[in-house]
Structure 1
């Protein structure tokens, strides 16, 4: 019986190998890979455009107000594995047109700000630019997620200029304070821990929510200190 299973397994491997290495399959991959590579290059170009806009705003505020509202800018494009999983989850056709229409977070730019007020100031400045189109806005700062996550999410459309002309590309922009980013980074790592007992999982959920509330309180206090130092708040104590 064991010998028979070995024969079947070898036969299966042979069939898979011949199928995956066939000229037809290789031609199919090569034919469809280039459009996906081009699509991903458009998203990378869009990221560069968005990053430049925020760096210009940061430089302007540095010159005019002697302060930098942006602490850091991070960016990424979705990995092919993550993209394929989202395509499967959304049950959309495996075409470039369908992907561009239905998935709006392939390109992501995360802007880390000093204070909560800076988030809304930068968002308003970005959205006031005449080449930016707002597609969707989700304010998880004023309305945090149940677990405590806070951030301002903007889905925007921005033009990139190619040899053949202008092309509009969607980018997800997340704006957070340092405290929000610190909490979200740790929460992301803890979320993927395996085999957590139910009682510990409940404790961790409550603890992470409490940490999020402490983080929000810290943001508010630090902003208040800044306002006092700038003379824009008459209240010395919170």
Structure 2
């Protein structure tokens, strides 16, 4: 296949990655706008490099005209979550969507690989709307905790360095570190509720501070610099140590001033 043909081959995959990242990040935004805990921490995506794709095709004897149908990870999305049980929440969210079809799943969280690798894989059929019509492509989604991702990234780098032949002493240390990473996940699960409460409190306070700042800027635009400075000083005192109730009262106070001076 000529270079320009490979460029055309990649177009629907690149479009799929961008669309899926937007859609999945939209789920996270939905939760945040409702001041709810989001099971999605962050999302990354990539299209497989041509050299890596051809290397894998040669390894499994896949003809170039069959790549779109037989190579499932040309387009890849990785969803990072904070806690192990968030993985199952995200899996259900994806299963329930109407704009993609789950072809099959691989549970390496419950059925950990001998190397210590843990992750949940879903292979989807995703329709990409091109100028010439709809193109159905395969996309692999990997869902894992931050600890699982840290370990998997390290293993991937070592496999690349040693061409899949990691020395036994390093392999054993990797296996031990995989168990340590999973133990970390297990311990974090025990204090999950405390962490979620703390994060939600932080989000609420951040929103309040942002809203107060918006109102102070409005006062400034109304040529009410003295009142704006007074509220800014109050905010400076509360920003670090103030509680939600105190910030809410300040927001109401600033909003009253804005409303009053707007009608003068």
| TM-score bin, normalised by smaller chain | 0.7 to 0.9
- For 1:89 and 1:56, how far apart are their aligned partners in 2? 37
Q: TM-score when scaled to structure 2?
A: 0.68
* Structure 1 vs Structure 2 CA RMSD: 2.2
Q: Which residue of 2 aligns with 1:140?
A: 108
- The runs of at least 4 consecutive aligned structure 1 residues that moved more than 4 Å come to 228-231
- For 2:162 and 2:57, how far apart are their aligned partners in 1? 25
User: Residues 25 and 42 of structure 2 are in contact (CA less than 8 Å); yes or no, is this contact kept in structure 1?
Assistant: no
Gaps of 5+ in 2: 198-264
Count how many residue pairs are aligned between Structure 1 and Structure 2.
196
Q: Which residue of 2 aligns with 1:6?
A: none
Alpha carbons of structure 1 residues 146 and 164: separation in structure 2 relative to 1, 3 Å = same
Q: TM-score when scaled to structure 1?
A: 0.75
Bigger Cα Rg: 2
User: Residues 53 and 126 of structure 1 are in contact (CA less than 8 Å); yes or no, is this contact kept in structure 2?
Assistant: no
Q: Which residue of 1 aligns with 2:129?
A: 161
Tell me the SS of whatever aligns to 1:70.
coil
Question: Which structure has greater helix proportion?
Answer: 2
Matched, 1:184 2:167: no
Q: Which residue of 2 aligns with 1:91?
A: 61
1:168-218 Cα deviation digits (max 9, x unpaired): 1111111111100111111222233449xx9x9322222211111111111
Q: Bigger relative contact order, structure 1 or 2, given CA contacts below 8 A and separation 6+?
A: 1
Q: Which residue of 1 aligns with 2:235?
A: none
- Within 5 Å, give how 1:64-213 maps onto structure 2: 64-95=34-65, 98-194=66-162, 201-213=167-179
Gaps of 5+ in 1: 1-28, 232-238
Matched, 1:51 2:17: no
